[in-house]
Structure 1
Amino acid sequence: MEEKKQKMVPKYHYDQMEKATRLKLRDEFLRRSGMSLITFYDKLRKDSFKPLERELYENIFIIQQN
């Protein structure tokens, strides 16, 4: 039987972070992506990041957090 890979849901991961950390990382994401704050939260809520945006999100929020 094939194992199902768990999909990381960005909103869940974002909500689990400390407020100061997530705001710092959010600002870094906005700076590097050129995305507006409203668009960021809309895409986060809907999990509708495009592939390159998702890659940047994971790079900033997953890799840099550790």
Structure 2
Amino acid sequence: MQKWCRFLLIQICETEGIEILKGVVNKEHVHIEYPPSKSFSEILKRMKGRTFRILLQEFSNLRKRY
């Protein structure tokens, strides 16, 4: 699941024009560089929302926990 989550975050960042400088998914910590025209809270909301929705579809056992 960590590899899938990492893949999703990379994919989202590429479509949003965001460069990931450093990231470790298992520690829930990522450093990103983003265009100043975009709001950090909006970027974070998109990343969390998209990954969570897709992970719930792929791993149905997560519904019980979250």
User: TM-score of the superposition, structure 1-length normalised?
Assistant: 0.49
**More helix per residue:** 1
**More strand per residue:** 2
User: TM-score of the superposition, structure 2-length normalised?
Assistant: 0.49
